[in-house]
């Protein structure tokens, strides 16, 4: 007779790290990137909790806000729900959902910061390619439509992370804490 398999073993593994990961980020941002129909849900959460990007702009860089770099007008923040290891967001410090509302200085600074983020990913992760882009406005599918943010996603030959486009599946090996530490070290060295 075949033996019965026990499947209960690994059930409690994740519970201890969950409390530590609690931050001001709204849950479900990853889904919204691909499923704009869930926007209302996220917007409601943003109203209750305030804008995570503005909070990050206001306080010092830390693992709580996932901010790893600030320039005069912009910042680089980890995506708490990465589509791939090393996924970064580049955004203006000011709360705006419209690129055309930025001053020339703010806009140029944002583009320079985008370049810095790409350099950081290149140095830390050595990907084979990138996805670089922005969902502009709620209709464009932005997860946080009121605060502009570029996504910069490192890609490797053979990675399967476009699965989220067709299924609710993704492969992310690294914890956000590990990614944060890598970038924090990188930007610390860079500032020396």
The residues annotated with a catalytic role in the active site are 149
39 lies in the site for Zn ion, by CB under 5 A:
no
Q: What are phi and psi of 95, to 5 degrees?
A: -80, 100
Q: Which is nearer to Zn ion, 80 or 182 (CB)?
A: 80
In angstroms, give the least distance from the CB of 118 to Zn ion: 23
HSE toward the beta carbon, residue 2, CA cutoff 13 A: 3
In angstroms, give the least distance from the CB of 139 to Zn ion: 19
25 lies in the site for Zn ion, by CB under 5 A:
no
45 lies in the site for Zn ion, by CB under 5 A:
no
The dihedral built from the CA positions of residue 191, 112, 83 and 163, taken in this order, carries a sign that is negative
Surface-to-core class of residue 55, CB atoms within 10 Å of its CB (0-12 exposed, 13-18 middle, 19+ buried): middle
Chosen residue from 25, 33, 53, 81 binding Zn ion by CB under 5 A: 53
Q: Which residues ranging from 144 to 183 are in contact with Zn ion (CB under 5 A)? A: 147
Instruction: Look at the block and give the residue holding tokens 């519970």.
Output: 15
134 lies in the site for Zn ion, by CB under 5 A:
no
94 lies in the site for Zn ion, by CB under 5 A:
no
Instruction: Lay out the sheet containing 129-133: strands in order across.
Output: 67-70, 74-78, 88-92, 150-155, 129-133
Instruction: Note the residues at the interface with Zn ion (CB under 5 A).
Output: 51, 53-54, 95, 147
């Amino acid at each position: 007779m075949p033996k019965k398999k026990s499947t209960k073993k690994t059930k409690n593994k994740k519970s201890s790290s969950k409390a530590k990961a609690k931050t001001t980020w709204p849950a479900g941002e990853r889904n919204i990137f691909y499923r704009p129909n869930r926007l209302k849900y996220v917007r409601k959460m943003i109203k209750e909790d305030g804008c995570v990007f503005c909070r990050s702009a206001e306080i010092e860089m830390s693992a709580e806000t996932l901010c790893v770099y600030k320039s005069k007008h912009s910042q680089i923040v980890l995506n708490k729900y990465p589509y791939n290891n090393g996924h970064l967001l580049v955004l203006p410090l000011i709360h705006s959902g419209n690129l055309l509302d930025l001053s020339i200085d703010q806009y140029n600074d944002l583009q320079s910061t985008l370049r810095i983020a790409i350099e950081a990913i290149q140095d830390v992760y050595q990907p084979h390619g990138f996805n670089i882009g922005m969902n502009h406005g709620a209709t464009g599918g932005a997860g946080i439509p009121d605060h502009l943010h570029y996504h910069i996603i490192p890609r490797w030959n053979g990675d399967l992370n476009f699965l989220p486009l067709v299924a609710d599946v993704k492969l992310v090996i690294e914890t956000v804490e590990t990614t944060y530490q890598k970038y924090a070290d990188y930007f610390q060295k860079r500032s020396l």
